[in-house]
Structure 1
Amino acid sequence: MINDILNKSFNLDEDLSFDNLLKKKLETTGLTKTQFERLAGLQRRSLDGIIDKTSKQTDIVNLLKLGEFLGLNLEQTVLLHFKDRPSFEIKDLQNSMDITFINKYFDLKTLASLGFIDKKDSVEQLNERICEFFGLDSIYDYEQELGEALYSRTKRSFNDKMKDFWIKSSYKYFELIDNPNDYSREDLIDLIPKIKPYTQNVQDGLLTVFRALYNIGVTVVFQPMLPKTQIRGATFVINDKPCIVITDLNKNYATIWFALIHELHHVLFDLELLQKVKYHLTGEPDLFLIQEDKANQFASDYLISQEKMRYIEPLINNHLMVTRFAKDCQVHPSIIYSQFQFRQSEKGNNYWGAFKDYFPDVEMAKKNLYVSNWDAQSLEEASKNIKELLTI
């Protein structure tokens, strides 16, 4: 609203002013300026401050009195008031407009906790930080440029500021990474059977697989879970190439691998739909729940089949046997424990707190992957780091 007022006020006729209109009105009514002031209950200094644009704090009642006498409606009065106002006042209005926009689209408290901003930042600093991070000319491009890129076909928008922030930053991140390798579905089909053994390598397994996928045109990045979201993973299609985000939701090593295979199922079987909707979130309510059950079953069966789980379940409390069986199945033992926990939860049994000593520290697994982009100077800087990491 303020932006519309300022734009319209800048385009008013140069000769249109309170001073000119008042002089003409006084001539037609036969009143003197003093008589008008007395009848309207206006003081000379207040009236001159409005007319000469010198008042620092304009009394709205006095402004309305003048507008009414001149026969102006409310919009005309306000537009004329802001025409040729001092630059400091226009700047104050711009700041007011900026902070209104920023509060509408950004969860400042949560972003401060992530180190993205400082809670003491001024409006100008917040404006500069957002523009530099996303590579925007104006904060208003956050909704116009990025919003149009993501929501033009799906007509989707979110009241959840952090989810919207996550989606837009991830999309921009992948755009900047711009994987130069062509995507090949055939190569992905050949690669997937080779992934499972790398679950046993806690420190370097994920990085090795991410690099192999990058080499066939599938960009995978790891991000820490963003507060106020439940996103386990996501698949985007950018420049006709699949891009995957895996998070550390629940801080579970086995879940990270499960999420990766789940998203690869979407790449294999849902790419055509993803090209239309542009992205899909796993773990969050989504209007396009594309084959989630199939993707979950695919990931579960890939990591360890139901038949093998039925064999090992009676021995689940024998860690030595589980470890040996996991080695035979070419998976990390935590994947067996995780699948057991899930299968039991479907029966109404709670084993989520069990076997925690046999799950690797997620920090070790993500050590070589973690390129935080929330506190990076810019997404461009973060994208260069991840591109170097993934390029063999």
Structure 2
Amino acid sequence: MSSAIRNQYDPDYVSLPGETLLEVLEEKNMSQAELAERTGRPRKTINEIINGKTAITPDTALQLERVLGIPAQFWSQREQHYQDFLARQRESDRLEKQSEWVTQFPFKEMAKLGWVEFTKDKIPQCLSLLNFFAVASPEQWVKHWENRKVAYRKSVAFESDSAATIAWLRKGEIEAEKIACQPYSATKFRKALDEIRTLTVQPQKVFLPRIVSFSAEAGVAVVFVPELPKTRVCGVTRWLTPTKPLIQMSFRYKSNDHFWFTFFHEAKHVLQENKDEIFLEGSADYDPDSPMEQDANQFSKNHLIPESNLNRFLANRRRFTKVAIEQFAAEINIAPGIVVGRLQRDFGLPQDQCNGLKERVEQP
């Protein structure tokens, strides 16, 4: 093969394959007419290949191999590389017209977290986001994500940024793909929840991985994904497949009472097995009277602090002292911060009291 061929066959080179063919003909002192005669192709076809109006087909590549002594694979790859370049060029032109799509995402923050590769140029940003979301175009992103049905649980005091929330959800999918889960079993998951409850008294470095492993054995993927700006999401439950539910948490509230309440709330949504819904704690559309949300709230409260134990504690205590709370928590083997949070929410303990019993839970 000539040096001209070797130099031109470069993955970054996007000239017409016909230009390479013309160089070869000139090296061999062969006219287009002679090549047409030797290959059995019309002169017009050879001329159109040289001028980029006709592609080199596999049959033509084989004929060029016999006549010119250059492997058919070279010609086919040369043509394929050129066609790939044209396709990417068309895509780039299209994305340039749709570059505003990128501006709705917190791209800089996503890059800092390592979700996408940082760049300041809009088209590379667009390509990076499409790869992240695993969609072919901004239009398909809209169809796949924005039209999905979502059931929300969140304070009406906030409004979440939908694009950032969708990015957060997508990251959860990506992380869940890395977790090898057994097929979902409600019976096994209920048993796993009993084991997980005992972890509330353990340090974060112990309970986080064990939550993941215990849940995976029961068929539930649990992932922890940092909150993006303006998302204000704590947790979400959804089914990735009919046999693989996902619980995703953000550590938005950095105290263990919120963390554990949210986890068991989302766990109940898994047990409800409403596989067509996405239960997302992150929207102003939260309906506190929703039966499924009330059910999940009550499940979380009672699983963490059994009602019978709580009633005995409330009956015997006129004041919620730090010592009393610590003793009660030790009796039922639960983190005292969880008791504090429950008393503050439901039984009048002032929000500024006993917070020293709570522990911080943060993204590792």
TM-score for both structures, normalised by structure 2: 0.62
User: Relative to 1, partners in 2 of residues 1:202 and 1:154: Cα closer, same or farther, differing over 3 Å?
Assistant: closer
CA 226–311 in structure 1, closer or farther in 2 if over 3 Å, else same? farther
CA contact (8 A) 2:235 2:247 kept: yes
Contact 2:181–2:216 at 8 Å: present in 1 too? no
Check conservation: 2:117, 2:128, Cα contact below 8 A: no
CA 1:205 to 1:169, structure 2 compared with 1: closer, same or farther past 3 Å? Answer: closer
1:184 is matched with 185
**Taking structure 1 as reference, are residues 92 and 208 closer, same or farther at Cα in structure 2, changes over 3 Å only?**
closer
- Alignment correspondent of 1:128: 127
User: In the TM superposition, what whole-angstrom CA distance separates every residue of 1:369-388 from its partner, at most 9, and x where no partner exists?
Assistant: xxxxxxxxxxxxxxxxxxxx
Whole-Å separation in 2 of the counterparts to 1:173 and 1:303: 27
Partner of 2:320: 316
Relative distance call for 1:312 and 1:253 in structure 2 (3 A) is farther
2:203 aligned with 1:195, yes or no? no
**Partner residue in 1 for 2:141:** 142
Aligned to 1:258: 261
What are structure 2's unaligned runs of at least 5 residues?
1-86, 153-159
Matches of 2:317 and 2:225, distance apart in 1: 33
Indicate if the aligned counterparts of 2:196 and 2:214 stay in contact, CA closer than 8 A: no
Letter of the structure 2 residue corresponding to residue 213 of structure 1? S
Residues in 2 aligned to 1:244 and 1:301: alpha-carbon distance in whole angstroms: 19
Query: SS where residue 197 of structure 1 aligns?
Result: helix
| Cα 1:125/1:354, change in 2 over 3 Å | farther
Contact 2:233–2:282 (8 Å) recurs in 1: yes
* Deviation per residue, 1:110-160 (Å, 9 max, x gap): 64675656886101320232134334454554334x338x72x6799x972
Change beyond 3 A, Cα 1:340–1:239: same
Partner of 2:96: 96
Greater shift, 115-124 or 188-197, is seen at 115-124
Q: Is the 8 A contact 1:197 1:330 kept in 2?
A: yes
Q: Which runs of 5+ in 1 are unaligned?
A: 1-86, 368-392
CA distance in 2, matches of 1:250, 1:209: 18
Overall identity of the aligned pairs, in %: 21
Counterparts of 1:338-377 in structure 2, within 5 Å, are: 338-344=341-347, 351-363=350-362, 366-367=363-364
SS state of the match for residue 209, structure 2? helix
**Count of aligned positions:** 265
Tell me which residue corresponds to 2:22. Answer: none
Q: In the alignment, is the contact (CA less than 8 A) between 2:225 and 2:249 conserved in 1?
A: yes
Alignment of 1:1-392 (within 5 A): 93-103=93-103, 105-108=104-107, 111=110, 121-144=120-143, 146-147=144-145, 151=148, 160-174=162-176, 176-177=177-178, 179-203=180-204, 204-240=206-242, 241-268=244-271, 270-271=272-273, 274-277=274-277, 279-286=278-285, 289=290, 291-304=292-305, 305=307, 306-311=310-315, 314-317=318-321, 319-344=322-347, 351-363=350-362, 366-367=363-364
Deviates more, 1:320-329 or 1:287-296: 287-296
Deviations 1:213-265 (A, max 9, x none): 11110111112233212322110111112110122122111111111111111
Cα distance change of structure 1 residues 212 and 134 upon mapping to structure 2, 3 Å threshold: same
SS in 2 for 1:361: coil
Q: By how many angstroms is 1:106 displaced?
A: 2.3
Alpha-carbon shift at residue 314 of structure 1 (Å): 3.3
In 1, the alpha carbon distance for the partners of 2:294 and 2:212 equals: 24
Cα 1:102/1:316, change in 2 over 3 Å: same
Q: Taking CA–CA contacts closer than 8 Å with sequence separation of 6 or more, which of the two structures ends up with the larger relative contact order?
A: 1
Distance 2:251 2:263 in 1: 11
Q: 1:244 to 1:135 in 2, by over 3 A?
A: same
- 2:122 aligned partner, one-letter code: V
1:165-223 residue CA offsets vs partner (Å, 9 max, x unmatched): 2233334543x336441111111223333332210002312321321111110111112
Residue 325 of structure 1: CA displacement?
A: 1.9
Letter in 2 for 1:124: I
Q: Distance in 1 between matches of 2:110 and 2:228?
A: 10
| CA distances 1:84-119 after superposition (whole Å, capped 9, x unpaired) | xxx9x988853532312223x524466467565688
Q: Is the 8 A contact 2:150 2:280 kept in 1?
A: no
Question: SS of 2:239's equivalent?
Answer: strand
Separation in 1 of the partners of 2:166 and 2:246? 17
Q: Hey, what's the Cα distance between the residues in 1 that align with 2:246 and 2:291?
A: 16
Specify the SS of the correspondent of 1:165: helix
Q: Does the Cα contact within 8 Å between 2:336 and 2:357 map onto a contact in 1?
A: yes
Alpha-carbon distance in structure 1 between the residues aligned to 2:316 and 2:224:
31
Go from structure 1 to structure 2 and tell me whether the alpha carbon gap of 1:245 and 1:217 turns closer, same or farther (over 3 Å shift): same
